[in-house]
Structure formats: structure tokens, C-alpha cells
Amino acid sequence: MPAAIEHPLVGGWEKITVSACSETYPDRIVFQPNGLYAGHRDPPGTFTTWDVGKLVVIDPGHVRITTANDAHVTYEITITGDVVTFVDPDRCAFSYRRVSP
């Protein structure tokens, strides 16, 4: 079992970016304290790059997330208040807003 992480990403998030490059990322995602996550798209069953997997905190500005094809991808992150912005290796930037549990 993965070790618990202390990180501001733990909790639920809803995507607030609408762009072509962010289309395959989940509409909603929950990061667990044990480092696991689950992403969901609308309508249910629609492909998402982040379906279920593991989050590893590299440093305050980078995380590694396992993707639907089992790749381990490093993302830049910036957290400002209740908004987190990810930048993927293709330089696609997309943001999520924290949602109440």
C-alpha cells in the first residue's frame, strides 16, 4: 500500500478549463491521502487520460501521475488558493477548482 502523502492536492477537484488539448483529462478527480486517484468524465465511460492510478509528489512544483496506458508522466503544477494548474509534457495547461467533499 502506498504511503500517505501530505499534499494540497488531496481531495476533490473539478476541471474549469475548456480547451482542445485538455479534452482527454477528467472532468472530476479525487486524490487520496494514500497517493491513489480516480478521475471521471461525462458522460460516464468516456475515455480519460487519468482514470485510476497513482500520484507521486516529486517536489512542490511537480507530480508524477500514472495514466490510463500505465505510463508515468511528470506534470508541472501550480496551486493558487483553490485552483491547481497542471502543465503536461506537450505544454498543455489546464486547471481544476477544489470542490467540497
> Looking at the predicted structure, is the pLDDT value of residue 101 above 70?
no
Q: pTM, whole model, 2 decimals?
A: 0.90
Mean pLDDT (whole number) for 8-25: 95
Whole-number pLDDT of residue 100: 78
Whole-number pLDDT of residue 1: 43
Whole-number pLDDT of residue 45: 83
Domains in the chain with CATH codes = 11-92 (2.40.128)
Q: Strand 28-31 to strand 52-59: parallel, antiparallel, or no bridges (unpaired)?
A: unpaired
> Looking at the predicted structure, is the pLDDT value of residue 19 above 70?
yes
Name the CA dihedral angle for 94, 92, 42, 39, rounded to a multiple of 10 degrees: -80
